Amino acid sequence: MGGDTLRLATWNVNSIRTRVGRVTDWLARADVDVLAMQETKCTDAQFPMLPFVELGYEVAHVGLNQWNGVAIASRVGLDEVQIGFADQPRWASKPDVDPVAEARAVGATCAGVRVWSLYVPNGRTLADPHYRYKLDWLAALRRCATDWHADAPDTPLALAGDWNIAPTDDDVWDMAVFDGATHVSEPERAAFAAFTDAGFTDVVRPFTPGPGVYTYWDYTQLRFPKRQGMRIDFILGSPAFQARVTHAEIVREERKGKSPSDHAPVLVELRRP
C-alpha cells in the first residue's frame, strides 16, 4: 500500500454476499488500493461491510434490492461520494410500477483520482424497451462525463465497470453467435465510441491486445474452458488518468476455482502525483 503507485481495479462480482471471501482474498493478494464493484445484488443494509473494514477499506455502496448494485472500496480515501448522475434515465420493472433510477452508478474521489463504478444496462434484446433505456443511459452518462472532464481537466477520471458492450468484433469469441443480438449492435458500439470522442481512452487494451482477450465467460456450455468469452468490462480514463497508467491486466485466473464470478477483475496501475 502507498508508495509511488496506485492500484485500481473493476470487477463485476455477481453477488457480493456469495463471493465476499473471494473478493477480499484477491484484494489482499493483489495489493489493490481501490476496487469498483458491480452487480453486488444486495441492499445497502445487506452489504457485507465488516470483511472490507477489517482489511482497511472504506466502502461506498448503493443497492436497492437483489438486482444491480454498485460499490467502491478504497483504502486510500473515499471522498465526495455521489450516487447516480444528472438526468440518469429511470426504469420500471413492470408497467404499473413507477420508474426509478436504478443502482448502477456511484462515484468517489480516492487519493485524488475520481472513480466511477458503473453497471451499464444489459439491453436484453434489440426489440426490448430495455435496449432503448440502455442507449439513453449511455448518452446521459457521456454528457455528464464530458462535463466532469471539462470542469476539472487536471483531475484523473476513471469510468470503470461492466459496460455490457463488446466494442469490436475481436471482443467476442464468434460474431456469428451474436448476429442480431445486443452488446454488438452498431448503436451500442457508437454509444461506446462516443466516450472516445469525448476524450476518454480504454487504458487497458494497449496492455492486453486481442483478439481472444476477454473479461466475461457465461457459466453455461463450458464457455470458460473453451475460451468462448467477451470483453465487456472496461476502465475508460480521461487524459489526466491515462497519462499516469503504467500497467494494466485482465486477471483471468480469478474466473477459475470455486464459485467464481462470471467476470474477471480488470486492473490498472497508476503513478501517483
Catalytic residue list: 119, 162, 263
Residues across the chain: 273
Instruction: Supply 75's cell numbers.
Output: 483504502
User: Which residues define the annotated binding site for Mg(2+)?
Assistant: 12, 39, 162, 164, 262-263
Q: Give dist(CA 189, CA 203) in Å, integer.
A: 17
Amino acid at 20: V
Instruction: Supply 174's cell numbers.
Output: 464468434
Q: Give dist(CA 250, CA 264) in Å, integer.
A: 7
User: Which residues define the annotated binding site?
Assistant: 12, 39, 162, 164, 262-263
SS3 content of the chain, % helix, strand, coil (to 5): 30, 25, 45
Instruction: Supply 20's cell numbers.
Output: 465476499
Provide φ and ψ at 125, rounded to 5°: -135, 165
Q: Give dist(CA 188, CA 137) in Å, integer.
A: 11
My answer on whether omega of the bond before 51 falls inside 30° of 0, hence cis, is no
Interior/surface letters 3-26, b for 16+ CB within 10 angstroms, e for the rest: eebbbbbbbbbbebeebbebbbeb
Q: Give dist(CA 132, CA 73) in Å, integer.
A: 31
